[in-house]
Amino acid sequence: MNVHKNARLTPQTVAERIEALRRQRLTGKAIAVEVGVSPATVSRVLKRLGLNKLSALEPAEPVRRYERENPGELIHIDIKKLGRFTRIGHRITRDRRGQSSTRGVGWEFVHVCIDDASRIAYAEIKTTERKRSAVAFLKAAVAYYAKLAIRVQRVMTDNGSCYRSRAFAKACKRLGLKHIRTKAYTPQTNGKAERFIQTALREWAYARAYTHSKQRGAELPLWLHHYNWHRPHASIDAKPPISRLGLTGNNLLRLHT
């Protein structure tokens, strides 16, 4: 038995988690943060799995692509769980002193929404993923789009308990929304929300070494503005999402604040 070789093996559950995140197209650095292991460990596991290059990933399962014609016809909503922290992790500082005091800080939940036709996105950080937070976010998202003269008609979610709640159903009814839930075990049908989450992780959540999670949260509205107003989007002819609203003159200046 090669002792040194076995000492470098990663627990199966961790390796499986790393593989699952890689198949969601996360970078090695993002996976390390999400799983709580070193980038070197992630690199070793990915190399062993033959997934050290993104090009090695299996082709995505064929999905029927569609796009609504007008903004507001359908919005996609989802939630991403992120760990809270009070200091930069040792993987960046290379200093483990005091790390135990940051454990157990807890979680925060990024509720995200993206419009199917325009790709204009909205997001808020909540303390829970329960029905009260989901309903509050839905109302805030509809209000956000209303400020852009977008009337939301339908909302698509997965089958999470908060979205199956009576409270969420009532909120949809009061807002005049048709609620569409994805089929079980087919999260790709809500793919636009999934892809937006991956973009947000790469370009916002894991894009820099934040001192603490509050600093990360404060950066979210700034990144969202960049995403909606300035960042080219590949699926809409390399133009920013806001371009699909056809805003001109005073309306463009009024909203771009």
- Domain limits of the chain? 3-56, 75-255
CATH class for domain 75-255? alpha beta
pLDDT for res 236: 85
Distance CA 41, CA 177 (A): 46
**Residue numbers in the chain where pLDDT is lower than 50:** 1-8, 60-63, 91
The 3-state DSSP class for residue 38 equals coil
- pLDDT value of residue 114: 97
- Dihedral pair phi/psi, residue 112, rounded to 5°: -125, 155
d(Cα 234, Cα 227) in Å, to the nearest integer? 12
pTM of this prediction? 0.70
Torsion of CA 205, 196, 133, 177, to 10 degrees: 160
Rounded to whole angstroms, the Cα distance separating 190 from 74 reads 11
